[in-house]
Amino acid sequence: MRPPPPNALVNKIVALTLCLLVFSGTLGLGAVWVRQEIYSTANRSRTVQLQIADVERHLDEVNAEVAAALNPASLLRQNEAMRLGLVAPREVQVVRVDESPELRLAAKRNREAFSLAAAAEAPVNFRVVSASYTR
């Protein structure tokens, strides 16, 4: 057997050094790309937060306008301005609700949805689907 040429070891060292440089360059580019993605995601997040704050501010303005429009004094002024002839309700006509109306409506909806009559009205159909597997 013939011994390897004397420059074979040098070629291996040069090839390994070149591979190491390519690998470290790829890692560096990957790190730069990840930092760029983090920066762009932070900018998008900041933009969305500003939009949310703007919508909340607008919603607060609308709620303030609704509260001003539903003010009893404002309603009386509009009644007089439009000459509607409406009168304020008497105390017997007012029904006061102690509990949350959302909870009452949810309970009513759930009673209707989970009643036996509703279950009997909705027929259940089952189908059997066969599948063949090939290997």
Condensed to tens digits (0 to 9), the pLDDT of residues 102-130 reads 888 898 888 877 776 666 666 666 666 66
Report d(CA 89, CA 82) in Å as an integer: 18
Condensed to tens digits (0 to 9), the pLDDT of residues 33-78 reads 999 999 999 999 999 999 999 999 999 999 999 988 888 888 889 9
pTM score of the predicted model: 0.48
Contact 87, 81 (CB under 8 A): no
CA atoms within 13 Å, Cβ hemisphere of 46: 6
Q: How many helices (H) and strands (E) does the chain have?
A: 4, 0
